[in-house]
Structure 1
């Protein structure tokens, strides 16, 4: 093979490599600003989300409308649900970050939960019927995992400004705000740690669907 034949191949590889770098860069920009993909590593949000699901997350959803009770959200749990540092070292963190970026593994610091209390809310468990109450009114929760109680753990909290009270739908399998009542911050997640709102399940294909919306976490009148 002469030099003239090798040159086009070399240029072709360079073009392919440049196209790949540009594609990754554009994808990274889109995922950091508008839309992202997350892997569900646990059963804490069943039956809505199952282990192994990949979800499409809008990073701008809460820019258009305020966070409301009942919203499902993805958030960075560092400093509240998780330590600020993994303690595993930069190399392991980099490998894990790559796996998370490609949707192959879940994150130890990124969580998906449902909002039960917004700033100023008085959230308690439970009333005489075993329901969570918000500001003295019972909350109907049709999304709960079948057979689960709203909570076996008692709590009585007032959500401070700039924070949220979050719980999983599979209450018996969810480590959430309830598990951190004695920790700094009292299990409340800072609003500025919210990453976005799940809008669609994209994998596996047999579960491909938009995320349902409920009037869940809206206190019923007079607690009935």
Structure 2
């Protein structure tokens, strides 16, 4: 009796508490074989490219700075990231913002453009490198709809009668240029912007296109987005906030 009971307990433990047979899964089905990484890699690459394209189209896009018209805020060959999401929610550019916009009326006519390679075009299309070969400009918004912008002599630049203190203007430049185009008083119509470069004596901006059909104004609809950060090269990393001078009291008091 004692030996039989001991044997039954041993059999029970073997059936219930012992290790399962490693050769046969509990479900009775063979384990799934993991696909080799080299097979999954193309799918991962496609997903990455789609995500990059969506980010470039709806969120952020990189742009290359081709000239010194925004020095010293932006240097030649800097890469900036442009916020493209805000315009989708009805936001419009405001004074002091640095914006990228499509050429509103042959502003770039006659200027040689560096032709990108096929690879650069492809990478630029999906947003993996700055857009190349596109007709875009980058300037600072000075006046928005209803604003009166004025320059007399060497400055200061005035918006709605308020003088702007402009620490971002290139060192050695004056706020206003004394050439004929640099002396002006304009009122910005609805749906338009008056833009100027920070390198005042080296920027072909709204001042120098007052004879075009829009009077040098940039349509809000041509704005791609606001430049929010200098992303490359690393030593130039910085944000692009709106200067305090555009927050001064009374600036919205249009006359």
> Normalised by the shorter chain, which TM-score bucket?
0.7 to 0.9
Q: Which position in structure 2 is the counterpart of 1:139?
A: 164
**Corresponding residue to 1:49 among 74, 93, 98:** 74
Q: Which position in structure 1 is the counterpart of 2:94?
A: 68
Deviation at 1:190, TM superposition (A): 0.6
**Aligned 8 A contact 2:64 2:130 in 1:** yes
Deviation at 1:110, TM superposition (A): 1.2
**Corresponding residue to 1:179 among 182, 200, 208:** 208
Q: Which position in structure 2 is the counterpart of 1:149?
A: 174
Higher RCO (CA 8 Å, separation ≥ 6 residues): 1
Instruction: Between 171-180 and 64-73, report the one with greater CA deviation.
Output: 64-73
Distance 1:103 1:176, change over 3 A: farther
Unaligned residue ranges in structure 2 (runs of 5+): 1-35
Aligned counterparts of 1:66 and 1:136: Cα–Cα separation in 2: 23
Partner SS for 1:216: helix
Aligned counterparts of 1:221 and 1:140: Cα–Cα separation in 2: 14
Aligned counterparts of 1:97 and 1:155: Cα–Cα separation in 2: 40
Deviation at 1:24, TM superposition (A): 1.3
**Aligned 8 A contact 1:70 1:218 in 2:** no
Aligned counterparts of 2:229 and 2:165: Cα–Cα separation in 1: 24
**Aligned 8 A contact 1:116 1:165 in 2:** yes
**Corresponding residue to 2:103 among 49, 74, 77:** 77
Deviation at 1:58, TM superposition (A): 1.1
Deviation at 1:220, TM superposition (A): 7.0
Deviation at 1:46, TM superposition (A): 0.9
Q: Which position in structure 1 is the counterpart of 2:137?
A: 111
Partner SS for 2:173: coil
Aligned counterparts of 2:173 and 2:132: Cα–Cα separation in 1: 25
Q: Which position in structure 2 is the counterpart of 1:192?
A: 221
Q: What is the TM-score of this pair, normalised by structure 2?
A: 0.70
**Aligned 8 A contact 2:104 2:219 in 1:** no
- Pairwise CA RMSD: 3.0
Aligned counterparts of 1:107 and 1:172: Cα–Cα separation in 2: 25
Return the index of the structure with the highest Cα Rg: 2
Q: Which position in structure 2 is the counterpart of 1:3?
A: none
Partner SS for 2:244: coil
